[in-house]
Amino acid sequence: MTQDYTPKANLKIWLDGRLVPTAEAKISVFSHGLLYGDGVFEGIRVYGGRLFECRAHLERFANSLNAIRLQLPWTNDQIVEAMKETIKANGTKDGYIRLVALRGAGTLGIHPFRTVSPQVFIICDTIQMYEPSMYEKGMSVVTASTIRNHPNALAPQIKSLNYLNNILAKIEAIDAGCLEAVMLNHEGYVGECTGDNLFAVQNGRLRTPATHCGLLGGITRRLVLHFAQKRGIPTDECTMTRADLYFSQEMFISGTGAEICPITQFDKRPVGDGKPGPITKQVMSDFRGHIRSGEDLL
């Protein structure tokens, strides 16, 4: 069931301080990032050649690094410079940066400190998560049976390279003919989607699961809450059940890659009247306006 997909060969990749062509951007088979998923990453949008909400992403990156006890030989400022260099080298106007930090190559054993120095690489490419029609008509989403990682096992707040939890749920979504799935947490409450945060509108209130429900504190999620509050729409970061979602009039996802996309069918049930609702459209429009402003909010 695999499809042919060839990564772009003509990109310039920043790897440990040097810009190299894709074919020369190589990582050791002994990299603990590869062997054990021992590393963290960020996905950052580039709009109009500019890093979008860079500070918030770097803050989360630093928190993820700290959580897995990975110390980089680069400062935040150097990483920002490296990302800017990569954008320039690739001539990117609107695109997506993938910033990855890996524990270095080491012994065959998980000991994280028996490794050589950590590695950092930066890819700057284009991204399209979903078809443009989905942003107009909305997407279908199902609940996955795979629950989100327990926060005391691998906290979803850490943006680690261990995405198998999400990938198993994503496979369930694909099997159900969808591209996203809602993941519940270990207590059965709604967490987030496989690569996006989740919002629902219930009786005029914009609600999203609280971060203590076990989810990644999304940068786009924070922006959405900001836009809604500015419009006087009451917001709740709360505990939500799947039934709460069935009783919602609107649903949407938020994420760096996906941006904001309406959900119009959930577990084979229409959401509201089956069309993107007014609050969803308002937030989508505020998001586009924010991108155009060229200023960061967070």
Which residues would be at the binding site for ligand PMP (CB under 6 A)? 43, 166, 192, 195-197, 216, 218-221, 254-257
Q: Tell me how far apart the alpha carbons of residues 201 and 263 are, in angstroms, rounded to a whole number.
A: 11
Q: How far is the CB of 122 from ligand PMP (least distance, A)?
A: 17
Asked whether the CA dihedral 177, 181, 184, 189 is positive or negative, the reply is negative
- C-beta neighbour count of 116 within 10 angstroms: 13
Which residue is listed with tokens 């989360």? 60
Q: How far is the CB of 9 from ligand PMP (least distance, A)?
A: 25
Q: How far is the CB of 166 from ligand PMP (least distance, A)?
A: 6
Q: How far is the CB of 273 from ligand PMP (least distance, A)?
A: 27
Q: Which is nearer to ligand PMP, 43 or 276 (CB)?
A: 43
Run of H or E residues at 201: strand 197-202
Q: Which is nearer to ligand PMP, 52 or 121 (CB)?
A: 52
Q: Tell me how far apart the alpha carbons of residues 121 and 11 are, in angstroms, rounded to a whole number.
A: 13
Torsion of CA 229, 149, 129, 257, to 10 degrees: 50
Q: Which is nearer to ligand PMP, 179 or 216 (CB)?
A: 216
Q: Which is nearer to ligand PMP, 38 or 196 (CB)?
A: 196
Say what angle helices 219-230 and 54-67 make with each other, to 10 degrees. Answer: 140
Q: Tell me how far apart the alpha carbons of residues 293 and 290 are, in angstroms, rounded to a whole number.
A: 5
Q: Which is nearer to ligand PMP, 89 or 129 (CB)?
A: 129
Q: How far is the CB of 43 from ligand PMP (least distance, A)?
A: 5
Which residue is listed with tokens 């995405």? 163
Q: Tell me how far apart the alpha carbons of residues 139 and 57 are, in angstroms, rounded to a whole number.
A: 27
159 among known catalytic residues? yes
The tokens of 169 are what?
Answer: 């749920």
Catalytic residue among 12, 84, 159, 170: 159
Which residue is listed with tokens 């809602």? 182
Q: Which residues are catalytic?
A: 159
